[in-house]
């Protein structure tokens, strides 16, 4: 035989001795490790709860209490990201401490994890890019939770964001999850104010001064209407004729509104322009020629 095998026999061990050893180990574990494990779990739970309370209070700060240059949405966004990162760190540290109490050797585990991490790191450049882009998005305050943005070819309201990805919900209710590394250009449609561009088409024969005057009157009416006065941030502008051709003249109206309020204002403007034209016998170039050409452009003040 190439080797010597030794088999345990009833003479080398007994069930009572084995049970006694297990019992002693269980008692030692209960006396030494269990209290420490309980303290670690409770400590992590308390830290997470305190962190959640602090971030919730920070996120609920009133805008008038914020320092200059900060907005409520920005604070809420930063609080959300800080909360997620801090919870991960607390859970990770608590897990390492718990493994140490279970007499697991962490040095070989961490060494192997480092080698594996080095190997994975060569194929994880996209994830690193996600985190770098996410950091600059937050640092530069490119957009906040609740903003309407256009990124990576999709448009929607920012519902959630982290250092790795941004979650959008569009007008149809579809949820888009965009890795931050895919974000090259950010178009924020709700930063400071939105501008509604309304193009009104009437017959070429209608007097220009009369049309400009009527559109200005409609703009003044809606500007001072209590229902819409709080949503329009400046006087309605009627620059005049923007295009002439094919037996029609196109007049331009510009309205600055609060973010995401331009849609309701545009619908009310159309209704009032229609009623005004009917009342003053203004002829349009054709049916359905009062329309919005572009109602999504946003300017930053």
* 301-to-68, 225, 258, 263, 292 alpha-carbon distances in Å: 15, 24, 12, 20, 23
Nearest residue to 77 via CA among 167, 173, 152: 167
Look at residue 114 in the predicted model and tell me its pLDDT. 60
- Confirm if 192 and 299 have CB atoms less than 8 A apart: yes
Helices 125-139 and 72-101, interaxial angle, to 10°?
140
- Confirm if 214 and 161 have CB atoms less than 8 A apart: no
Nearest residue to 298 via CA among 257, 265, 247: 257
Q: How many CB atoms lie within 10 A of CB 160?
A: 16
Would you write out the chain's pLDDT as a tens digit for each of its 301 residues?
444 444 455 555 555 666 666 666 667 667 777 788 888 889 889 988 888 888 777 766 654 555 544 566 567 667 777 777 788 888 888 888 888 777 776 666 666 656 555 555 555 677 778 888 888 888 788 888 888 899 999 999 999 888 888 999 998 999 999 999 999 999 998 888 888 889 999 998 999 999 999 999 999 999 999 999 899 998 999 999 988 988 899 999 999 998 878 888 999 999 999 999 999 998 877 655 544 445 444 444 3
- Confirm if 161 and 81 have CB atoms less than 8 A apart: yes
Look at residue 150 in the predicted model and tell me its pLDDT. 94
Residue 60, phi then psi, degrees to nearest 5: -95, 10
Q: How far apart are CA 77 and CA 71, in angstroms?
A: 10
Q: DSSP assignment of 192-209, as one string?
A: SEEEEEEEEEEETTS-HH
């Amino acid at each position: 035989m190439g080797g010597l095998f030794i088999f345990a026999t009833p003479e080398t061990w007994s069930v009572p001795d084995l049970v006694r050893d297990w019992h002693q180990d269980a008692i030692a574990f209960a006396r030494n490790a269990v209290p420490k494990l309980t303290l670690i779990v409770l400590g992590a739970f308390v830290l997470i709860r305190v962190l959640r309370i602090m971030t919730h209070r920070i996120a609920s700060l009133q805008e008038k209490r914020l320092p200059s240059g900060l907005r409520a949405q920005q604070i809420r966004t930063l609080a959300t990201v800080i909360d997620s990162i801090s919870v991960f760190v607390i859970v990770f540290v608590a897990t390492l401490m718990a493994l140490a109490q279970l007499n697991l050797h962490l040095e070989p585990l961490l060494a192997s994890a480092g080698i594996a991490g080095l190997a994975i790191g060569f194929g994880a450049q996209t994830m690193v890019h996600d985190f770098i882009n996410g950091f600059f998005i937050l640092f530069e305050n490119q957009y906040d939770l609740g903003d309407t943005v256009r990124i990576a070819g999709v448009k929607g309201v920012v519902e959630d964001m982290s250092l790795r990805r941004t979650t959008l919900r569009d007008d149809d209710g579809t949820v888009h999850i965009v890795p931050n590394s895919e974000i090259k250009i950010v178009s924020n449609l709700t930063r400071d104010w939105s501008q509604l561009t309304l193009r009104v088409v009437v017959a070429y024969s209608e007097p220009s001064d009369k049309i400009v005057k009527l559109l200005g009157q409609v703009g003044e009416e809606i500007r001072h209407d209590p229902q819409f006065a709080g949503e329009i941030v400046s006087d309605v502008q009627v620059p005049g004729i923007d295009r002439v051709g094919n037996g029609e003249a196109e007049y331009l109206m510009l309205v600055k509104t609060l973010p995401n309020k331009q849609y309701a204002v545009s619908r009310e403007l159309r209704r009032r322009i229609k009623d005004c034209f009917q009342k003053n016998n203004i002829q349009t170039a054709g049916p359905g020629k009062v329309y919005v050409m572009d109602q999504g452009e946003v300017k930053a003040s």
